[in-house]
């Protein structure tokens, strides 16, 4: 059986315009997420894994790994569909700030705003700079920064 050709559902470089806003669905952070990420990354810091220790921390409870939040934000961004099948490379993260902790039970979503587009004909794609805000259920930004993603040109 011959496989069907895959049609990207993502946006091509030419479809991105500065000022466009894309909002993801939400996702609730679970204890399982934290434990799985600790095992995957090897980061078993007590502020993530020890509830008794964390009671005396500044947050007063366990917090999700910052990089877990960033990883989930990446997944939420892809789930919007705009990057699916058209991303050539994830090129850069800049000015990333971890602003508020993410706790077990928090629900986060991603708000992306296209900042800039730059055609890069030499490499056959274009750079799209996207400002990301990761926002919790209380409408607080928990982390933010910029991503530069290389996006495919529309096929001729």
Task: Establish if 141 belongs to a structural domain.
Answer: yes
Per-residue pLDDT at 156:
80
User: How many alpha carbons fall within 13 Å on the CB side of residue 76?
Assistant: 24
Look at the chain and report how many structural domains it folds into: 1
Phi, psi angle pair for 139, to nearest 5°: 65, 30
Cβ atoms of 29 and 100 closer than 8 Å: no
Residue 8 domain-assigned? no
145: region left, alpha or beta (phi > 0 left; psi from -120 to 50 alpha): left
Mean pLDDT (10-residue bins), the chain, 156 residues? 65 97 98 97 96 95 98 96 93 97 98 97 94 98 98 91
* pLDDT of amino acid 1: 61
Kindly report the CATH number assigned to the domain that includes residue 127: 3.10.129.10
Q: Which domain holds residue 60?
A: 13-152
What pTM was estimated for this model as a whole? 0.91
**CA–CA dist 119, 152 (Å, integer):** 10
* C-alpha–C-alpha distance, residues 76 and 87, integer Å: 15
The confidence score (pLDDT) of residue 6 equals 61
In-domain check, residue 1: no
Q: What pLDDT is recorded for position 5?
A: 53
């Amino acid at each position: 059986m011959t496989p069907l050709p895959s049609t990207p559902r993502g946006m091509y470089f030419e479809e991105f315009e500065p000022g466009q806003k894309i909002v993801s669905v939400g996702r609730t952070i679970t204890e399982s997420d934290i434990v799985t990420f600790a095992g995957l990354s090897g980061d078993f810091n007590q502020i993530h894994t020890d509830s008794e220790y964390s009671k005396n921390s500044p947050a007063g409870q366990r917090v999700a790994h910052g990089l877990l939040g960033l990883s989930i934000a990446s997944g939420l961004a892809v789930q919007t569909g705009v990057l699916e099948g058209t991303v050539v490379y994830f090129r850069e993260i800049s000015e990333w700030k971890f602003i508020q902790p993410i706790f077990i039970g928090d629900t986060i979503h991603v708000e992306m705003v296209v900042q800039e587009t730059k055609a890069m004909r030499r490499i056959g794609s274009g750079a799209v700079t996207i400002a990301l805000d990761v926002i919790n259920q209380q409408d607080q930004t928990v982390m933010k920064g910029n991503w530069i993603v290389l996006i495919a040109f529309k096929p001729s």
